[in-house]
Amino acid sequence: MKKDKTMSRRDFVGAAAAAAAFTVVPRHVLGGAGHAAPSEKLNIAGIGAGGQAAHDLRQMESENIVALCDVDWRRARGMFQRHPDARRYRDFREMLDKEGDKIDAVVVATPDHMHAVASMAAIKRGKHVYCEKPLTHDVYEARVLAEAARKAGVATQMGNQGQASEGTRLMCETIWDGAIGEVREVHVWTDRPMRGINGLYWPQGVGRPTDRPSIPDAVAWDLWLGTAPERPYHPDYMPFKWRGWWDFGTGALGDIGCHSIDPVFRALKLGHPTSVEACCTIVNEETFPVASRVTYEFPARQGLAPVTLHWYDGGMKPPRPKELEDGRAWDTNGTLFVGDKGKMLGNRLIPEARQQAYGKPPKVLDRSPGHYQEWIDACKGGKPAGSNFPDHAGLLAQVVLLGNLALQPSLKEKVARTKLLWDGEAMKVTNLPEANQFLKREYREGWTL
């Protein structure tokens, strides 16, 4: 039995035509690449095994964790010990080469600058991909990755787990129920980078370190750099603090935007904006600013009014709404919908009396079996996960990352004089051509998408 299973898996991961030869495969699977049958366990490999990767992989332990790859074996130690049978790698390319016929799916939870190349390498091999948010580092990468996932027919999911929550559904259903009327203005804010995961802070607004500490034995620095330009190792970059550096991370907006803008995207059925404009604290070429505001304008769509979305980070937030009761917390993270018939903070109308009077909206959305389970199900031939790349995450990530384009240090003087007009279909800024160079960065030699 065990042997059979292995054989069938090997065939699944082969060409779609080969998979089609097995009549036991559910019908709806046939259109795509190999999907494991629901009764089988997936063989999953981790690209990134410490930090958030460890968290993600632990949610998937109903499946087989067969291989683990990390450029920092210190950080990976916990997962290595937890899955002693999983084969260990430092270079995901080597892992995919060696394990190619043994794995069904990969979980990509590296620093942002490696998301696209790692995910793409997996997709090209017909692997299902769970990739942490933001989907990629650049707008272009997000677009190309989503297209590749669609073409390959693999199951995908971005790591914005809130999309599976009841809260997101309530938010959508309340808006769709017309509880606050037409929405023309939305505010989304976070206190990051002030407080990141577990209360950690990652510096922004700082310059490049000049000292050169020696590389720890457990770290494959060149592999950590991956697509990024060469620079000496420094603990200011890794682990975790890479988020603040333009070459590696995507700042507070990249970190949290895919979480907190996601439900807004769904509730307001957003697509590409028509313009983006930003301001921020003092900039430098190395790290993201300490605080910023990014303002997107979305056109009328699907019968909905045009809407302006304001993003704030670094402790900035919108004015306290008069509907919020005195004494009630005006949190340092939040989402405020401004409708022509009321306001909604998170997924509750304000003031609370209004929510109490309103009750609950009609349930029109399916409930989720859980963010990770959605993807596992999709890998086994179930319906696409809620934040799959082609239908949702690719576009969401492009829009989020477009905000970072407006924060580019070298564009600041120009952006101060105009908002950037965005042609989403053509993927270009139409009124400031030089901005388009930042849609797609150059990779270091030896790396391609």
Binding residues vs other proteins (CB under 8 A): 191, 194-195, 201, 205, 277, 279-282, 290-291, 293, 295, 310, 314-317, 319-320, 326, 330, 332, 416-419, 431
CB 244, min distance to other proteins, A: 13
CA–CA distance, 375 with 111 (Å, rounded to integer): 21
- Nearer to other proteins by C-beta: 199 or 362? 199
Query: Which has the closest alpha carbon to 392: 187, 163, 127, 123?
Result: 163
Query: Which has the closest alpha carbon to 193: 183, 201, 181, 182?
Result: 201
CA–CA distance, 174 with 163 (Å, rounded to integer): 16
- Nearer to other proteins by C-beta: 155 or 256? 256
CB 315, min distance to other proteins, A: 5
- Nearer to other proteins by C-beta: 133 or 187? 187
CB 212, min distance to other proteins, A: 25
CB 325, min distance to other proteins, A: 11
Q: In angstroms, how far is CA 103 from the centroid of its own chain?
A: 23
CB 329, min distance to other proteins, A: 9
CB 198, min distance to other proteins, A: 15
- Nearer to other proteins by C-beta: 59 or 332? 332
- Locus of tokens 């804010």: 189
- Nearer to other proteins by C-beta: 132 or 313? 313
CB 309, min distance to other proteins, A: 11
Query: Which has the closest alpha carbon to 110: 48, 45, 44?
Result: 48
CB 404, min distance to other proteins, A: 17
Please provide the DSSP assignment of 129-185 as one string.
Answer: EEEPSSS-SSHHHHHHHHHHHHHHT--EEES-GGGGSHHHHHHHHHHHTTTT--EEE
| Rounded (10°) angle between helices 394-406 and 139-152 | 170
Please provide the DSSP assignment of 252-305 as one string.
Answer: HHHHHHHHHTHHHHHHTT----SEEEEEES---SSB--SSEEEEEEE--BTTBP
Q: Which helix (H) or strand (E) holds 293?
A: strand 292-298
Neighbour order of strands in the sheet with 87-89: 87-89, 64-69, 43-47, 105-108, 128-131, 156-158
| 307-313 vs 183-189, strand pairing mode | parallel
- Nearer to other proteins by C-beta: 201 or 426? 201
- Nearer to other proteins by C-beta: 78 or 203? 203
- Nearer to other proteins by C-beta: 73 or 312? 312
CB 111, min distance to other proteins, A: 22
N-terminal to C-terminal alpha carbon distance within the chain: 39
CB 318, min distance to other proteins, A: 9
CB 208, min distance to other proteins, A: 19
Token pair, residue 59, equals: 């949610």
- Nearer to other proteins by C-beta: 159 or 196? 196
- Nearer to other proteins by C-beta: 110 or 408? 408
| Rounded (10°) angle between helices 115-124 and 92-99 | 10
CA–CA distance, 269 with 416 (Å, rounded to integer): 29
Token pair, residue 214, equals: 């020696």
CA–CA distance, 209 with 213 (Å, rounded to integer): 10
- Nearer to other proteins by C-beta: 257 or 289? 289
Across the strands, what pairs with 311?
188, 294
